Amino acid sequence: MIKTLSNMQKLNEMKQKTNQEYKYRILEFLKELPTVDKKIAINRLPIALEVPRPTFTAWCYLKEEESRTIPAEKLYQLATYFDKEVKEMFTSTPDDISYEQIKQEYENSQQEKFNV
């Protein structure tokens, strides 16, 4: 029970730190859950994801500029749990890349290479 309160206190502290940019929206999605579901998620998600609780907590608080990331399969599992697309787990997403875009860039580089 003490650990539950500790984790809930961390979530409450997060609410007060609204000006910080986090890499993932885990805390946001946890806050959207009903209180009982939120408590269950905070306590059981690390077990379901097979990661230590401190690792899960660290993932919640990863800042945008940090190089650390959540492994792809764990991020997928989190997205599934919250009924979200993986791309929705990020606070900001990189630009999409398409085949056509890459092909065009390649063709442009080839033209520059042979025209010079």
The yes-or-no verdict on residue 108 having pLDDT over 50 is yes
Alpha-helical runs (H) found in the chain:
2-16, 26-32, 35-49, 53-60, 72-81, 99-115
pLDDT, greater one: 5 or 6 = 6
Q: Note whether 5 and 39 are within 8 A (CB).
A: no
pLDDT at site 20: 59
Q: For the chain, what percent of residues have pLDDT higher than 90?
A: 65
- Note down the domain range covering 58: 2-115
Query: Which range among 6-10, 23-27, 103-107 has the greatest average pLDDT?
Result: 23-27
State the total domains in the chain: 1
Output the pTM of the full model. Answer: 0.69
Q: How many CB atoms lie within 10 A of CB 86?
A: 13
